[in-house]
Amino acid sequence: MKICLILDRLRSAHNTGNIFRIAEALGAEIIACGYTPAPPHPKLAKTAMGADRMVRCRTMPDAAGAVRLLRTEGYAMILAAEPGPESVFAWNMQYEFPLGLVFGNEALGVSPEALAEVDGLVGLPMLGEKASINVGNAAAAILYAVAATAQYGVKL
């Protein structure tokens, strides 16, 4: 179950450190794009609790370029985590591996340029008025949906 997380202009080192821990737990790698904090970074390291030294991390100027890079590396499917009517509920998606997942900026989402490069959108149900989940929490929910559906055939 090879997974690469593309982090598109994340502002918070704490959110990024949290995602490093999730990536380490599931054996994923990370591409930090734009101004996303990347190791070595003291605030990221504090939240990552050592996962920043265990997870393979590359950096790229932008997420669209990272998506194109994964295509050259033979990734079968690359999805953006974005809410909306076109988004498939994470537990209902049929994932193909190697899998790339793009997580976007906490306020702006995934860049339009990266959205133009992906194979589709995956998301979580948004039933509240705010319709917003912290990027670290969204990454955890989506990644565990990927793991559950891929390894155990679990669907909701």
Instruction: Give the domains, in start order, of the chain with CATH numbers.
Output: 3-152 (3.40.1280.10)
Where is average pLDDT lowest: 8-22, 36-50, 64-78? 36-50
What is the average per-residue pLDDT within 17-46? 94
Confidence of residue 153 (pLDDT cuts 50, 70, 90): low
pTM over 0.85: yes
The pLDDT-based confidence of 38 (bands split at 50, 70, 90) is very high
The answer, yes or no, to whether residue 50 has pLDDT greater than 90, is: no
Reference 8, options 106, 95, 139; nearest CA is: 106
